[in-house]
Homo-oligomer: A and B are copies of this chain.
Amino acid sequence: MLKGYTAPRTPKGMSSLAPAPPWNYAGNCLVVEYEAAERAVASYLPPGLEYWSPRCAVYFIEWQYATDGGEEFLDPSRSQYHETIFLIEAGLDGAPCSYCPYIWVDQDTPMIRGFAQGWPKQIGSTWITKAFELPSKATPVVGPGGRFGASLAFKDRRLAEAVVTLREETKALPTPNFARAVNVRHFPELVAGKHDKPAVHELVQLKSRDVKLSPIWKGDAALTIFDHPWLELADLRPERITAGYRFCCALTVDDLILLKDLR
C-alpha cells in the first residue's frame, strides 16, 4: 500500500516531494505595483473572472517553509526557495480579486505544492537584495532611502528586474495581493484525442490562515520586463508604476475553495 500526499508515493510515505499540509511559510517580499495595458490584462483572464482594472503587481519573495513540527528549515536546501509572482486584478461576483498569469520558483517542492493550488509554476532564478542589521555600504536600511533590487531569469534569459526605494510606512498592502487570490488548477490528458480536454480544470480560490505581517514599507519603484522569444510575459509590461513595497509575511495553507469546474 503506497502512501504520500504527492508522488513519489512509497511504502512508508516519507518520500513524497510535498508532504501533506499544513504548510507553514515565512517570507520577505519586495513588490512593484503597476498598471499594464487594459487589453493585455483583459486577455489573460480565465473563464469565470471578469475585467476589473489594469492593476498588476510583481512579488519577489525569499521563502522558508516547514510542516507542523517538521523543522524542515534545519536542512535548508529542503525548505528555502525564491519566487517571483505576477498578479493581475480581476473581478469575481462583483468584487475584486487577484489572478496569477506567471510564477517562477527555484525548487521542486514548492513547484508541486503550487500545482495543487493552481499556481502555474515554472523553474526560474530570482534574486532579491537582503537587509542586514548593521550599517554597511553592503546593505540597504529597512527605512527611508533604503534601496532594494530584484531580478528574475528563466532558462538563461533575464525576464524582469526591479528597484524599490523605501520612503515611509503604510498600513495598506499592494493591490493586487493574496487576500482574495483566484487560480486555475490544471492537469492535462495525454491520451490521443484528449490533449485539449484536461483531467483537471478548475477555478479555485486560495485559503490561508494565521496570516501575519510585519510593518509595511512603501516607496518609489522601477520595473523592466524584457522581451522574450516565446514567453508572452512582456505583454504585461508596465505602462505606469504606482509604488514599491517591502514587508515580511507568514501564513499557513491547508485548504482551498473550489469555485467552478471549467471542463
Contact = CB atoms under 8 A, between A and B. Distances in A.
B7 A186 contact: yes
B200 A187 contact: yes
Contact of A28 (B21, B24, B132): B132
B73 A163 contact: no
Contact of A134 (B11, B77, B249): B249
Given A116-B188, A116-B190, A151-B75, A139 B250 contact: yes
A243 interface: no
A26 interface: yes
A9 B77 contact: no
Contacts of A27: 132
A26 to B, nearest CB: 4
A64 interface: yes
Contacts of A108: 111, 122-123
A218 to B, nearest CB: 17
**A: interface residue count bin:** 35 or more
A132 B61 CA distance: 12
A199 B186 contact: no
30 contacts: A6-B186, A6-B188, A9-B184, A11-B235, A15-B230, A17-B120, A21-B190, A25-B138, A64-B132, A64-B138, A64-B139, A73-B149, A75-B127, A76-B127, A76-B149, A76-B150, A80-B130, A107-B123, A108-B123, A111-B111, A115-B115, A116-B189, A132-B250, A134-B213, A134-B249, A136-B212, A156-B158, A187-B200, A190-B254, A190-B255
B44 A2 contact: yes
A217 interface: no
A255 B9 CA distance: 24
Contact of A139 (B17, B73, B75, B148): B73
A134 B75 contact: no
Given A25-B138, A255-B192, A75 B161 contact: yes
A12, A200, A230: residue with the most chain B Cβ atoms closer than 10 Å: A230
Contacts of A148: 74
Contacts of A138: 24-26, 64-66, 73, 79, 250
A8 B122 contact: yes
Given A6-B186, A73-B149, A77-B151, A156 B137 contact: no
A237 interface: no
A27 B65 CA distance: 22
